[in-house]
Amino acid sequence: MSNSTQQHGFLIRAISLVAIGFGLLTIKEGGMTLSGDAAALKAAGNYVPFVLWFNFAAGFAYAIAGAGLWMRQRWAMWLAIAIAAATALTFAAFGAHVFLGGLYEKRTVIAMSVRTLVWVAIAAIAWRRFAAKGTQS
DSSP 76-136: HHHHHHHHHHHHHHHHHHHHHHHHTT----HHHHHHHHHHHHHHHHHHHHHHHHHTTTT--
Residue 134: the pLDDT is: 60
Chain centroid offset of residue 92 CA: 15
pTM: 0.88
Percent of the chain surpassing pLDDT 70: 90
Q: Where are the domains of the chain?
A: 3-130
Per-residue pLDDT tens over the stretch 50-97: 999 999 999 999 999 999 999 999 999 999 999 999 999 999 999 999
**What pLDDT, on the 0 to 100 scale, is given for residue 39?**
84
